[in-house]
Amino acid sequence: MAPAARGAERAARTVQRAWWRYLARRLFRLLTRAVRAAECCVTHEIVKRVSPLEAELIKDPSMQYKVRFRFAGHEFPPFIVFKIFRHTEGRGSKYISGKRIISPSSEAAVDTCKLMGCRRYYEKMIQDELQYQKHKITDEIDVATVKDYMQYVSNLDETPAHFGGRENYWRKLSLENFPRTMIMYDIVEYAQSGSLSDRLKKELKLLLLRPQNEEVLYEQLMSVSQVRLPSPCSTSASASSIRSYWTTSLAKTSGRRSSQARQKIAKMKKVYMLEKKREEQILCDTNRRYLTEHQETPTSPSEDLKDQTVLLDEEWEHEAATLYAWSQALSLEDIGLSSSTATI
Check residue 234 and give its pLDDT: 44
Check residue 341 and give its pLDDT: 41
Q: How far apart are CA 226 and CA 181, in angstroms?
A: 8
Could you tell me if 224 and 37 are in contact, meaning their C-beta atoms sit under 8 angstroms apart?
yes
pLDDT for residue 235 is more than 50: no
Check residue 157 and give its pLDDT: 81
Q: How far apart are CA 262 and CA 257, in angstroms?
A: 9
pLDDT for residue 24 is more than 60: yes
Write the pLDDT tens digit of every residue in 262-296. 777 787 778 778 777 777 777 666 656 655 554 54
DSSP alpha helix (H) spans, the chain: 3-40, 43-50, 52-59, 98-101, 107-116, 118-135, 146-158, 183-193, 198-202, 204-207, 214-225, 232-293, 301-328, 337-343
Write the pLDDT tens digit of every residue in 133-185. 887 887 777 888 888 888 888 888 888 877 777 778 888 988 888 888 888 88
Band the pLDDT of 18: cuts 50, 70, 90.
very high
pLDDT averaged over every residue in the chain: 75
**Which residues have a Cβ under 8 Å from the Cβ of 38 and sit 6 or more positions away?**
46, 69, 80, 82, 178, 184
pLDDT for residue 8 is more than 80: yes
Check residue 59 and give its pLDDT: 81
Q: How far apart are CA 221 and CA 227, in angstroms?
A: 12
Q: Give 48-99 as a DSSP string.
A: HHH-HHHHHHHH-TTS-EEEEEEEE-SSSSPEEEEEEEE--TTS------HH
Tell me the residue type at 192.
Answer: Q
Instruction: Please tell me the least confidently modeled range out of 48-52, 100-104, 180-184.
Output: 100-104
Q: In terms of pLDDT, which residue wins out, 21 or 310? A: 21
- The domains of the chain are located at 29-90+169-230, 99-163, 270-291+322-329
